[in-house]
Structure 1
Amino acid sequence: MKWPWLKGRGSRNKLRLSLRCNGRQIAYVLSEPGLNQNLPCPLLRWGAIALDPELAFEPAVDQALQALNLNAGEVIGLLEPEEYQILKVDTPNVPNEELKAAARWQIKELVEKHLDDLTLDVMHVGGDVPRVQRQLFVVAARSTAVELRSKHCAAAGLALQVVDTWETALRNLQTLKARSEGLQERACAALLMMENHCLLTISAGGELFYTRRLDHDPRLAARATGQLVVKAQQEAPLGFEYTPGADYLSPQDDSEESVLIIELQRSIDLWERSWPELPLARLYLLSAEHGEAVAALMQRELGLRTLAMGPAQLFSGIDEAELSEPARLRELEACLPLLGAALRQESRAL
């Protein structure tokens, strides 16, 4: 999305800086677009820096951005999920130049903020795929969030030119992965799984068709890695006959079906009913750790080919040896939503 007051500056600097701030830290990814169209894509620098708890929020953000000492010709600011809504509405029967104005009235009862406090952008569901009744994605972002990002970037000598969303960033990443497997025209799903966020998208031909935010299930990774086995002498139920070396698998942890898996299946079922001509070819999982194990578990539960999108395999600037350090692994998780933003193509409308 390009907002009217974010003016691009002519620059010979071809580097792209993608940023996000979750209130506790600033995460960043520095890349050079177009340097390599094949996997792995090169990252020049990535990481996260904590905000100073002794400072108020705004000066803490300014200080952190200045401390990074990053320079780029293009700066992308990624909104946090709580700072915007993405809604799907029927496409109004108006010329393209009037779509935003028409969509504004369609969503007035659906948004959490007053319309005057929101900045809108729209894009067609599925791009130009023919449909009897076409639909729009409407992104309703808090204007203050957009303005603050521009202000903080300016204080650090950076020119914010693009404001992006997690949904479109994840679309970019799964499109790259699907293209590498010759599935660029097939419908593929992607699940971003983080500690506090879970996001599902379905794309085909480089266009976003479906998106849904889900509740994270921390037990899923524990189940996939066998960490839910509880020692018998610690939590064995009454009547359990203990023998040395025996383990007790908690019925609550093992037998209760994952809410995340249930909601994923519901989304897949809805997709199959809504787009029968585009059956899902893959589910890609993006996670900072345990991706292979969780993908294998999901494939068994869902009956859908599921593959992990390992960040170190997608981007050459991520060293797997570094990820053995817990602090560096946490930084990588903070950067996961930014990886797709680093792949943004200028030709896209959103």
Structure 2
Amino acid sequence: MGTVAVCFRGGRIDVARILRTNDALPVLEFCGSEPIDDSEADALSRLRRKHRLDRAECVTLIPEGDYQLQVMDAPEVPDEELRDAVRWRLNDVLDYPADTATVDVFSVPGDPGSPTRTRSVYAVAARNELIAERMESFSDARLSLRVIDIPEMAQRNMAAMYETPGRALALLSLSADRGLLTFTAAGELYLARGIDIGLAQLGHAEGDLRKQLLDRLVLEVQRSLDHFDRQFSFLTLSRLVLAPLPEDSGLEAYLAENLYVPVEEARLQDAIDISRVPELTSRTMQAERFMVLGAALRTEGGA
């Protein structure tokens, strides 16, 4: 049936279903959106009826700002006790009690040539009430919610489609308010960095102010590249891929001129068969739907 991603974005809900086949590219069966004119549950109900999702199992993303992502050394406890041990450590990080948080943990891959090196994990924490509200909206709309994921993992899914075997890949996406830079290899997330520069700032800035923003963005990316090289010296980075942008902003050329790694802008048709959704040939639509497509690329049982 394929994975159905249902993601909240401002005043609308995006939906996409991707079917993985034996062919080279996953197939996008449909992609659309629904405005939230009244309640989330009502908008979800309309999506369920429009796309016949009564039997679908859905994946959704926690909106940016509604969760915290923290990397830490893995506690030296049995795997079955790892989540509780991480939750205890989060008491020093969260601005609310950790026992009122929904917590998940996933490992950062280590150097296969150094098995004794301390293992690191990412901890994801969100307030219980936020998770409960989202689950209730799906339940009220009679939609089955199988997984609640985070944008970093959706971007990891998308990055995996552009990776070169045996090499790492950096992928930079920009939403209206922020940027997200991820480093992946063999479909695994190694490093994620948020950047407080978004398309809205770049779009409204002119002249010297625009150049200052671009220079700040380059500096943030360069620092992350340097950190990745130091932290994961056993990996070689192939290139930086820039997620689709709604218009020709000149960002790809600016990054290419100022970074030491090759830079290219992603084309969704190189990663996904979008022939059933011809409107996605538009750069603007590719930029708008990037995250929901990344969420829909999640494999069954994947992390």
| Coarse TM-score class (shorter-chain normalised) | 0.7 to 0.9
Change (3 A) 1:347 1:139: same
- Work out whether residues 265 and 302 of structure 1, in 8 Å CA contact, stay in contact via their aligned partners in 2: yes
Alignment of 1:13-24 (within 5 A): 14-24=1-11
Deviation at 1:192, TM superposition (A): 1.3
Matched, 1:38 2:24: yes
Which of 1 and 2 has greater Rg? 1
C-alpha distance in 1 between matches for 2:64 and 2:43:
21
1:94 corresponds, among 69, 74, 77, to 77
Helix, strand or coil at the partner of 1:112: coil
- 1:28 aligns with 15
Secondary structure (helix, strand or coil) at the match of 1:258 reads helix
Distance 1:255 1:15 in 2: 44
| 1:170 is the counterpart of 2:155 | yes
Q: Note the C-alpha offset of 1:128.
A: 7.8
Aligned to 1:273: 230
Letter in 1 for 2:44: L
C-alpha displacement of 1:75: 0.5
Alignment of 1:323 with 2:282, yes or no, is: yes
CA distance in 2, matches of 1:197, 1:259: 13
1:205 paired residue among 169, 172, 186: 186
Gaps of 5+ in 1: 1-13, 229-249
Match among 73, 80, 96 for residue 113 of structure 1: 96
Shift in Å at residue 127 of structure 1?
Answer: 6.3
The 1:80/1:220 distance shift into structure 2, 3 A limit, reads closer
Distance 1:262 1:144, change over 3 A: same
1:211 Cα offset (Å): 0.5
Which residue is 1:341 aligned to?
Answer: 295
Q: Secondary structure at the match of 1:92?
A: coil
Q: CA deviation at 1:216?
A: 1.9
What is the DSSP-based 3-state SS (H/G/I as helix, E as strand, rest coil) of the residue aligned with 1:110? coil
Quote the offset at 1:217 in angstroms. Answer: 4.5
* 1:188-267 alignment runs, 5 A limit: 188-218=169-199, 250-254=207-211, 258-267=215-224
Deviation at 1:47, TM superposition (A): 2.1
Write the distance in 2 (CA, Å) between the matches of 1:287 and 1:191.
Answer: 9
TM (norm. structure 1) is 0.76
The residue number in structure 2 matching 1:62 is: 41
* Runs of 5+ consecutive residues of structure 2 not aligned to the other structure: none
Q: 1:91 to 1:251 in 2, by over 3 A?
A: closer
Taking structure 2 as the reference length, the TM-score comes to 0.87
Name the CA distance, whole Å, in 2 between partners of 1:254 and 1:164: 35
Aligned: 1:51 with 2:62: no
8 Å contact kept, 2:177–2:201: no
Contact 1:149 1:160 (8 Å CA) reproduced: no
Q: Distance in 2 between matches of 1:157 and 1:252?
A: 48
Q: Offset of 1:50 from its aligned partner?
A: 1.6
Relative to structure 1, is the Cα distance of residues 131 and 305 closer, same or farther in structure 2, using a 3 angstrom cutoff? farther
Is residue 177 of structure 2 the alignment partner of residue 156 of structure 1?
A: no
Change (3 A) 1:296 1:171: same
Q: Post-superposition shift, 1:314?
A: 2.8
Q: Deviations over 1:64-109 (max 9, x none)?
A: 1112223153210111111111110101111111100111111211
